[in-house]
A and B are shown apart, each in its own frame.
Chain A
């Protein structure tokens, strides 16, 4: 019975991975199907005929590559800003006791309550006053502000999980405050930082509504805005090129994840050794 358990676990895992990956497989399949096949009753995963023109159409349309570049810049800079701000703030939040901490937590939770549509107009007017309404800098600022509370909440959970005893042991050994942070806390926190960075990057990369309203000039459009233009009025959708564009849009996220995944693993191991 026990001998059967392990293969069954692997089988379940494989089925789960397939289940999770199926939308992506279907998207890739749709991106190489002809318009006729996409609009037929056939539900085959493999296309009858591979139709690579969708990629050429997607790349031809309305500056897809340029807008992907804009998205990348905004996502990377806002991720860096979020981590820079959230890292010290989350440490303070996790270690601090008393009313200030309660107020901080209250602020974080309250900031998550408001729907985007309620803040968009005041935000637009503030950014316009600052001369940042139709700019990538303004959008980066907005993404940073909007992602920060959740990132802070996420990261302070990781800090809380690090036993204070470790820091105290370091201090007992003669390490200063900065050394304790650098040699003990940050390595243990690495997986949390990586996870938070991933979250921030994906949030910014996929964000649509702020970009839709704040950006006016086509040269500033981000990828979701450009992809949105594949969907026309009267129910007209360029399905093939849209799927191809979506596949291309997923590549930077996958690359980013692949790079950070190693850090996530090494960070976990570092934590295990230190703990």
Chain B
């Protein structure tokens, strides 16, 4: 899939030169009369689709001269679709995707600069780290909308059985997690289940808590740096899995969603998951299953996690960039973002919407801790590195998998990550 992306991207770049004459912008003619904007939405859950449609309906009622049409699309394959759309000049006016996905398109000049349309008030409402994740070469190329963080879900009964008090406070350390995992590894149950079949995403997202950045610089000039900050988390997982034996081994080869099944069955006392899984746990856990979200994990460098928000951006070929930016500004109002994130069980990208949701749902299971974790999300250096996706799939993921399976030691992992990058980014 990823190698296909590379082929498509390369082909698209070449073909765009050949077929420039054929291209034409999307949207309507731009003459007088009402404007119609196409909004390619990736909302997938029924509640999120309904929330998105309501926002669009509200906009259309309030703005009869600027009509927005929702074009639903799926997450799988959307990168290939966008490559073709951009190169053929037929991209929708408003594009829903994730920061990691749109950053390369912005680098290639396909996205409009939204900086002039971003009010100071809105700018102040977006945490700096999150705003940085949608800023390319000093230009804001998308508005962030929804975020997820990694959180720890715990089985209260198994913690109580092991005599562990549920940690309180805003954050807890990884050492605390390790101690709880050790204490709850008893009677055939393991302390932790962590679906790490695709480990790179978790490793790079949680590295900031250990001072890890992985990359310095941007684009093709980026250089990799694998030091203590980057190696601390894989080594901690290795120690928990192979020294403490407190991680259920099979989960290390499973997806996050698969690792929920042993959690429901009482085989694991805790599981590290994307925060959005709270909705699935509430729905799928057996009756009477008493669970809790533990405080945000903090490493030696704090509780920071890399943010890869979902975003809304505007095609540079759109004839109505200003109107599209107005719609996005409306879409990301406090009320709308709160409603959308509630429907998707995600964390709003603006402080005001996060606070609104905390006020509304803070008392409900897990929401308080999940929303609180949103304040620690920070910029992710890997978002602005051209070959990151290729490195992730062809180098990092197999190297981490080998390391977790004890086929590589720490020095071997560090060397594989570094040499692999240098080979790809020549």
Contacts and interface: CB of A to CB of B under 8 A. Distances in A.
Which of A38, A129, A218 is the most central at the interface, judged by chain B CB atoms within 10 Å of its CB? A218
A67 B319 CA distance: 31
Contacts of A238: 44-45
B138 interface: no
A118 B9 CA distance: 10
A40 B42 contact: no
Contacts, number: 115
Given A40-B265, A117-B11, A232-B44, A62 B90 contact: no
Interface in B10-40: 11-12, 15, 19, 22
Contacts of A216: 71, 85, 90, 92
Given A35-B280, A35-B283, A209-B77, 6 more contacts: A39-B261, A62-B49, A212-B80, A218-B71, A231-B44, A236-B276
A24 interface: no
Contact of B77 (A115, A129, A208, A218): A208
A234 B274 contact: yes
A41 B73 CA distance: 32
Interface residues of A, number: 40
A228 B88 contact: no
Interface string B279-294: 0100111100000000
B285 A124 contact: no
Contacts of A60: 46
Given A36-B286, A40-B264, A40-B265, A229 B44 contact: yes
Interface in B212-269: 255-257, 260-262, 264-265, 267
A61 B48 CA distance: 12
A228 B11 contact: no
Interface in B72-126: 72-77, 80-81, 83-85, 87-88, 90, 92, 98
Interface in A110-136: 115, 117-118, 120-122, 124-125, 128-129, 133
B259 to A, nearest CB: 10
Interface in A153-196: none
B15 A36 contact: no
A236 B44 contact: yes
A35 B148 contact: no
Interface in A20-70: 35-36, 38-41, 57, 60-62
B426 interface: no
A225 B44 CA distance: 13
A57 B283 CA distance: 16
B15 A121 contact: yes
A229 B72 contact: yes
B310 interface: yes
A36 B310 contact: no
A39 B264 contact: yes
Contacts of A209: 77, 80
Contacts of B42: 233
Interface in A199-253: 208-209, 212-213, 216-218, 225, 228-238
A230 B88 CA distance: 27
| Top 9 A-B residue pairs of the complex, sorted by shortest distance between their CB atoms | A232-B44, A228-B74, A229-B74, A36-B284, A233-B75, A39-B284, A121-B15, A41-B265, A41-B261
